[in-house]
Structure formats: structure tokens, C-alpha cells
Amino acid sequence: MLDNATTMAGRIARRFTGRRVIGAVGVAALTMVAGSTGALAQGPGSGQGGGDRALSEFAGCIAGSKSGDILLVMDESGSLAGTDSITATDPDAKRVDAAQAFVKKMADYADATGSGINVRLAGFGGDYNAATDWTALESDDDGTNVDDDIEAFADRANENWTDYSAGLTGAAAAFRDSESPCRTVLFFSDGKPTTEGAADDSVIMDQVCHADGPVGRLRASGIQVFTIGLSNGDDDPAEHLRRISEGADCSVHAPNGAYIPAADASALTAAFERMAPSLGLGYDESRGIDESVEFALDDSVTPVQLSVTPTGPGLDDIGALIPVLTPPGGEPIDLTGDVSDIAGNPVTVTEGNEDAKGSVKVDMERGGDEWAGNWTFGYRVEGGQSDDAGYEFKLDIIPGLSIVVADSQPNVPLAKSDDDIIGVSIVGPDGDQRRFDGDARFTARIEPSNGDAPITLVDNEDIRSGSLDVPLDKVNGTVAGNLRMELAVTTAGDEGRPGTQLKPLHFSKDISVAPATMPKLPGSVSLDVHGTEGTTTMQVAGPGTVWVDPGSFTVDDATIEYTADHDESNPLELERGETGEIVLTATTGTAIDRAIADAWIPVTAVDAESGQQGTVDVRVEGALTAPIDKATFGVALVLALLLALLIPLGVLYLMKYLTGRIPSSPGIHAVRVPVTLDGTTVVRTDKGGEFDLTYEEVIAAPRVTSSGRSVTLAGEQVVVKTGLNPFEPPKAVAESPNSISDAGERSGGSAQLPLAVHDHWFAIAQTPAPSTGMQDPMGQLGQMPGAPGEDASIRASLIVAADEGITRERLAAIVDDIRRNGADRLGRLRETMSTDGSADGGPAESSKNDKESKRAKGKRGRREAGAGDGRNQSPQPQPSPQNDFPSDFGSNDSFGGGSAGSGFGSNSGFGTGPGSTPDANRDSGFGQGSGFGSGGGSSFGGNAGSGFGADGGSGFGGNPGSGGNSGFGSNPGSDSGFGGGSGFGSNPGSGSGFGTGGSSGFGSNSGSGFGRPSQGGFGQGPDSGSGSGRAEWGVPDDGAGNPPGDRDR
């Protein structure tokens, strides 16, 4: 971690040990954070609050360096979009519009000032989620070249956490390849910090603001941190976000940012735009919706850009907002798109979109005599009124106006002698020097990086002419720091009324000043070490002699050793006005990923006349990166491919293990409900009446999360079991005897659920139920629950595992499922319970029947009551409609039959579903269901439309709904086989091939490949075409359009 034991100023003080040494040798140094004005300690006399000062420094840095790197980090938590139980904070994704408006402002600024602005986008929730690389910002007719990337955040509001630490740590790492001296993070959130395992937000903030935490790393690296908070009631992030950007107690480094609040989503655009530097001299006001803004223009301030954004929750109570502008002595003009002239002055009006009620942008240019004077802006409200509505008014005077310093180069610090003059001019966007009719004052000062008091060069000097010479004679000896300049303009008043005081224009740049005979050194060098070696150059101006001796510095646990091409044996000698460079080579023994901060290289400088010698520390910035070893990576990749080819079973077992996890997100509200049977109706015993479960009961239940391998649902443990069969999917099994899942599935007498247990339920029998002796007519169900004359009932508990984001509609579907299928599930529990209350799959049997029971444990069909009696015998198979095979190939005990009690899997064929007989058992498969061990029209060991190891979902162990009715990582709705939906590289909907899309493939439905319907061949359906067109490997349909393996739930 970074060594933050002392501040930067303290570091400099230790190296220089007072002014005596500096005065003796007169060595110039710039030992501050290069170009990062926000990292400087605040000096007296600024006259600004911390937040306003930081915004000014951001603007000034970009103006001085003509560049800027800006990282937008956007909250992606689910509270933005909301749930049934959580009110959305930004349901219309206003944050997206706001971010787009901000980057548009920055693009306009770049165009107007000739600056290079780079933007990078990221999100955060439980982790930092990078969205783009650094992108040079460009304007287009409708916005910018990053608008589409920002638009994607409208759908990125599904994270469960708001982990500030993860977001800011990722932000610090994102600047490792940043090149601008002006680096800024804009961090947006709508709530307090949360993370898995943290008891409260204070724990997270302790991590964020630790001396070695992410805020400290950012500040130490000179990266300004600005935060925007969307108010969220009790979850208001203001306190924490303000601490991150403005808090002196957040890390040991001085704050360098600002917190910008947004009262609601409608205020986000104004909040984001506040970050953008004024295009020229600025004027900002906040007003109530029924108030006006008055401002004075004079003939020297043209052109002008006006932008207004209404804000506040009361906007919804207003029918229409008509922006109105009144020129000096004129009549009010409605600002609509067809207005092109106001009092003889050309204007262009751009109205906001329909989601930005009343917003407007107006570009104006002096064209007539009615320009100078007082203008008034306001709104005419039509339909309704509200005290909770207002607007943000922003005026940019002379967009593109800039402070120009003679001999200043982009991204290059100034190096001056104390007898030099700094030439300053005020230049318009056309490149011409500008004069002012009103009052124009100029201030320039140097803020030393060693913490000394600012050195004022000129103070409120008259610059109405548009130019000024700034002497450096007030510098005593040498100084290294930041040159800060400010232009303050007040427009000329009219008819005795005062003019308008505009927001100042700022300029800042690193500078070193030394006696004329001393060399001028840069304040910093940028060093990037890729792997174990890197180089950089240090620019030096004469006169004098300079060299760098070999040495080292540390970055966290790594030691960086450096050498120079100009050391004491080969110094760099320069004449006055001459420039040169020293090449530095750095090496480290271990390749790591670190940002370089608080690192310094001592440079020896010698006076050209006196020969006096001194040492100056030059700051080192940059990054250490550990690149991928391509050779090692290539070998590893080849080995992985070979292993996958040579040891497929190992791969399958590994995939089973890796995919066999109960999702830990989202959380679950688990509810236990006591029930019994009244005839064929499931009745709640705690409340009475037919089963029902209210939304309020679900939400009130404690929230639980899975550890991955297990989860406790209302006191009942559910664990992942993988099994020895590599083709059998992993499953979630309740460790509760006498239980059954909502799908009627059991494993060893316990309920078997999909891995994604969310929105599923299972039943647990509480008491044994004696037999009544009544059977169903088909012989499949054993005793019929609720039959007349039944003398015993079953008492049970239903465990409902509701997704924490469950809707009322989804809960209603669960309740309906319990009402329809609950009696059947409870009846089957009663059948399989022994009289002593144990559940071993049936009553006590002979050892022979015990063996038969054990053989049946892997089957996923209904469990019969008592093996070996007539009730469990399957009906005789019906004649097969197939022409290519004998009728018994695919029936009882055959290779791929479709009737109960047969086949290679369970109750039927080689993993098939119901066969052609009407009384066939509905469950089957090599793993369960239909298809090659699938369920409900799917594939290779899945259940109810799923893939290899999925249950009710898709893919190789997928979750419900992620790719329904498909297999091996497929797309939704494909009803296909070993790779259905997209197949083994094929396109969806192709209807053919080994696991291709569109209902086909290896054990697929209604397509082709292994197991086509309605054609002849290996395992085909009837060639007459009379079937449903959905068949498995060797299994026909039932001739009535009913696909095999379909469940009746």
C-alpha cells in the first residue's frame, strides 16, 4: 500500500530542510502533484469554499494543460429501478440523460478551447464494472461519441450492493494508463454504502477512508474526486459522499473534490452539468419556477449561451412550462424552436426533449442596438402550480474565452527565471485578443508545494485591454508550486443600474521559478513500468549542470531501482535558453500492479555562475503493471484443451462441481406454512381456509442468502448434491425426510429442487398417515387422498422460497400452483410414509423388495407405495406406431421405450418421457424428465425445459429462466438438445444438427438430427406425420400431439 505517513508538504520539507538550503543553491523544483491542482493544500486568500475551489481547480487545470481525463463511475444498484418493496429512486433513468448532458458540455468545451478531453465509463455495485476504455471525446450533431455507452446504464440497475470501496478502488486502477495531468473521478450514487457481510455503512466507510484506502490512493495520485448524490430519504448518501470528496478525515491527504447534491432525479442534469467548466465567463442562478433572473450584457460580451433546466418534484404538478426572454426595453419573447431573432440579435433556440419539461438552450450573438442592457429570463406556467418546482439558470459569456500564457505548452510545466515576465492575454474563440467595456480584473499567484504562503504576483490588476505582463520579481530565491490565475469581469451597467458580476475564468499550471543562473527542472516525471522495466525522460532548461545518481524508491512492497544516462560521471550541461533531457531507466524484481504515488527522485543541480550545488526532489508518477506472459498463457491454453479432449469425464465432473451452486443472489424470503388436506383441498391449519399466502407475509419473512453449497429455508437445510453419474445434473436436496418438491421430485425420500430454489416450494410431512386402502383407478397413485371414508389426514409444512424481488403476480402464480398440485404432492408423501413415521420410499418390505427400492432411488418419476404388489406394475405396452423397429423396442425394459417402468433411465426409455401409451408414467430420463435425460422438452439431464444440469432454466447447470427449454448454455425458448438455442456453434432456429437451434439436435424436439419426428430412421417418430413433431431419441409422440416428457404441472 501507499506510504501515507506524511503529507506531500511534509515530504518536501524533509528533503529541503528549510529555506536556507534553497537560498544557498537557488535550485528550482516543482515538487507537487503534476497538474493536479486539486491535490494541493488550500492556501489562504482563496475566498472560496472547498467545493467551489475544487471546481475552479478542475476548470483551471484543464484550461492550463489543454487536456483532461475524466472517469464517470455510475451506481448500478437495484434501488435505482426499484422493486415491489423498494421505491425506485430513478425510474426513468434520468442519470443517463444527466451524464450525457455533462459529456456534451465537456465536448463543447473541448471544441471551444481546443482541449483534448478523454472520458472513461464504469459502474459499480458489489464490484467495479469497467464499461469502456479511455475515449477521446468528440461532439456530433445529436450529442457525443460516448452517448451510446452511457445509454447502456439505463439497463444496468440490478446490483444488490452499493460497495463504495469496490467502486473507488477500481477507479484508482483505471488511471494507470491515463496521460493527462488533469485527472478526475465523477462518482455517482443514490444510497449509503452496502456490501455483503458488512454490518453497517460505517464499516465500509472505514475501508474507504483508511489511510491506505482508495480515497487516499486517489488523492495521493493527484486525482480529484467529485461525488454526486441522489437523495433517497433515509438512505440519503450525502454524508458519506461529502466525506469522500470534501472530508479532511477521509485518508491523510487533503481533500481535493466537491460534493454535488441532487434532491431528486429531475435535478440530476443540473448536478452533473455543474461539474462542467464554464465555456467562458459564467453566471449561475437557482430560482423558483415563478421567479425571474435578470442579467446585464454590454457590447463587449458576445456571443452568449444560455441554458436552463427545471428541477424539483413539483414539476409533475405543472401542465406546461414556456421559457420567456425579455430583451432590454423590449417585449417578452417565448423561446420556441422557430425563434431566430430577438430585438435584432440572431438567436438559436434548442428545446429540451419531452422528458425534460421546459428545458432550453439559447445561443445569442450581438447584431443590433438592443444588445447592451438588462435582460430578463423566466417561465410562464400553464396549468397547475407548485412550490416544489424551480430551475437552474446557467449563462456562458463568450464561450471559448481563455487565458493564454506566452510560451505555455500543453501538459508541460512552466520553467522560469526570477527575472522573466509572464505575458498574459485574454483571447476569444476566434483567436483574437478581447477587450472589455465593464470592469475586468486579473489576479496571479504561486502556491508553493511545500506549504509556504502563496506568493501574489499581481492582485486585481486592470486587464480591460485584454493583456498584461506579470513579473516574477516577488519570488525570493526559488519556488516550486502551482501558478494560478483568475480573470474576474463585471459587465457594464445600464442607466445607472449595476452590471452583472460574472464567475471568474481560471487558469492553473505547474511552475518552477529560480535565479537566472540556475537550471529549471520539471516538477514531476511520468514513469510506466510494464513488467519489470520502464523508461521516462526528464526535460531540463539551462543554464547550469544537472545529473541523477543511481538510487531506488518503493511502491508498496516493491523496490524500484533507477539509473540515468546523465549521472555524476556524465552530467548534462546547458546554456541559458538551452534545453535538454535526462533518460531514466527503472527496474523492479517483481512485476506487480500498482499506482506510483509519493515517490521521488533526487536530482543534483549546479548554479552556472557560482558553482553551488544542491539536491531537488522530482516527483514520480505513473504505474507498475504486470502484463500477461504470452508464452505461459499459450502453453496453459494448449494444456487445457488437451485435458478437455483426453479427460472428458474429468471436465464433466469439474463442470458439475463448478455449476452445482445455489445462487447467492438475489436473496430469499423463506416462509413456513402449516397445512393439511381437506379432501383434495390444501388448507392452512394456522388460519383455516384454502391455502393462501399474502405478499406482506412473504416480505416480512427474514431474508436469507445461499453460501453456494447450501441454504437454510425457514429452518430447513437445502444442500447441493452432485452424484457420481457425470451426466446427471447437480441438484438441490432438502435434508428433511418425508419431503417432496413442487415438481413432485424426490431424492432418497427428500424433496429435490432446482439449484435456483427461488420461487419454488416443497412440502414436509409432519405425521404418518395410515393407509385407507383406497387406490386410484390407474394404479399409479396408490391410496387416493381425500377419498370418502378416509380415516386419517396428513399434516405438513409448506416451505415457500420467494425471490426477494418477487412481485405480487409471481406470488399469485406460486399460490395457484400449490392449490392445483399441493394435494397430489401431499398424497404422495402420505403413500410413501411408513407407519412408524420414517420415509424410506414405502412401507417395510422384504429384502428383495428393499433391493428393488434401492434400484429405483435414482429414478425421478413418482415413487410407488410398496414395491412388488400389483399396484406398481405398469400396464402392458401398446403397439408401437413405428415402422423401423419392433413394437417392443422402446417399451417395457427396452432401450428407449416410452412407457412406465422401462428403459435405461427411469420409468421409461433411455432418458425419455411418456411414450405412446396413454397410461405411461410421465417422468423419466437419464437424469429425469424427457429427452436424453431431460424434462419437459429439453436436453441431457435437465428438468422442465433445461440443459445439462439445469432445472427449469437453461445451460450447463443454469438457473430458471436464463435460457428456457434449451441446453448446454443456449438461448431462451429453443426447446432443443445438447446445446440448443445456439447449438454447438450453430445459429438459432436452424432446426438441424448436433444440438442446433430451433428445437433440434441430440435428443431435441420438433426439429431434426438424432431423433427427428415424422420421418424414418434411428429413433424417429411416425413417418405418417400424424404426431406432434416432438420426439426424443427412440421415443415417438403419443399420436395426439402430446410431446414426450412434458409435465402436467
Question: DSSP letters along 924-970, please?
Answer: --SSSSSTTT-SSS--TT-BSS--TT-BSB-TTT--BTSS-S--SS-
- The C-alpha atoms of residue 1010 and residue 1033 are separated, in whole angstroms, by 6
Which of the 8 DSSP states describes residue 153?
G
Taking the C-alpha atoms of residue 357 and residue 276, their distance in angstroms, rounded to an integer, is 22
Q: What is the pLDDT of residue 1018?
A: 37
Q: What integer pLDDT is reported at residue 917 of this predicted model?
A: 36
Cell of 17: 530542510
- What number is the average pLDDT over the span 515-534? 83
CA atoms 944, 947, 949, 951: torsion sign: negative
Give the number of other Cβ atoms within 10 Å of residue 330's Cβ: 15
Residue bearing cell 471551444: 112
Question: How confident is the model at residue 16, as a pLDDT?
Answer: 30
Give the residue-averaged pLDDT of 768-795.
Answer: 48
Please count the helices (runs of H) and the strands (runs of E) in the chain. Answer: 15, 45
Terminal CA-CA length for the chain: 58
Decide: residue 809, CB within 10 A, 0-12 exposed, 13-18 middle, 19+ buried.
Answer: exposed
Joined together, the cell numbers standing for residue 384 give: 397547475
Beta strands 746-747 and 750-753: pairing type? antiparallel
Q: Which of 344-348, 526-530, 645-649, 946-950 has the highest mean pLDDT?
A: 344-348
Choose between 596 and 791: higher pLDDT: 596
C-alpha span between 218 and 564 (Å, rounded): 29
Cα–Cα dist 900/920, whole Å: 5
Cα 295 to its chain centre, rounded Å, is 42
The pLDDT value recorded for residue 645 is: 62
- List Cβ<8 Å contacts ≥24 apart for 883-889: 883/1016, 883/1022, 883/1023, 884/1016, 884/1017, 884/1018, 884/1020, 885/1034, 889/1034
- What is the pLDDT, as a whole number, of residue 717? 93
For 570, residues 6+ apart whose C-beta sits below 8 A from its C-beta are 547
Q: Alpha carbon 329 to chain centroid distance?
A: 52
What are the residues facing 294 on neighbouring strands?
376
262 vs 998: which has the higher pLDDT = 262
Q: What percent of the chain has pLDDT over 90?
A: 39
Burial bucket for residue 640 (CB in 10 Å: 0-12, 13-18, 19+): exposed
Instruction: Looking at mean pLDDT, say which of 34-43, 551-560, 956-965 comes out highest.
Output: 551-560
Label the pairing between strands 710-713 and 668-678. unpaired
Give the confidence band of 391 by pLDDT, cuts at 50, 70, 90.
very high
Q: What average pLDDT does the segment 808-812 reach? A: 90
Determine whether 249 is exposed, middle or buried from the number of CB atoms within 10 Å of its CB (0-12, 13-18, 19+).
Answer: exposed
Please give the full DSSP string across 73-115, using - where no structure is assigned: EEE-BGGGT--SSS--SSTT-HHHHHHHHHHHHHHHHHHHHT-
Q: In terms of Cα–Cα distance, which of 826, 839, 815 is closest to 671? A: 815
Which residues are paired to 397 by β-bridges?
Answer: 281, 304
**All structural domains of the chain:** 50-277 (3.40.50.410), 282-397 (2.60.120.1290), 402-514 (2.60.40), 524-625 (2.60.40), 657-767+793-833 (no CATH)
Between CA 649 and CA 5 the distance in angstroms is 55
Cβ–Cβ under 8 Å, residues 716 and 800: no
Most distant CA pair in the chain, distance: 119
Residue located via cell numbers 438441490:
732
According to the model, what pLDDT value does residue 595 have? 67
Q: Return the pLDDT at 630.
A: 54
pLDDT digits (tens, 9 = 90+) for 22-73: 333 333 333 333 333 333 333 333 344 556 889 989 999 999 889 999 999 9
Q: How many CA atoms lie within 13 A of 878 on its CB side?
A: 15
107-127 per-position pLDDT tens digit: 989 988 889 999 999 999 999
Query: According to the model, what pLDDT value does residue 936 have?
Result: 39
Task: Give, as one character, the DSSP assignment of residue 878.
Answer: P
Residue type, 846: S
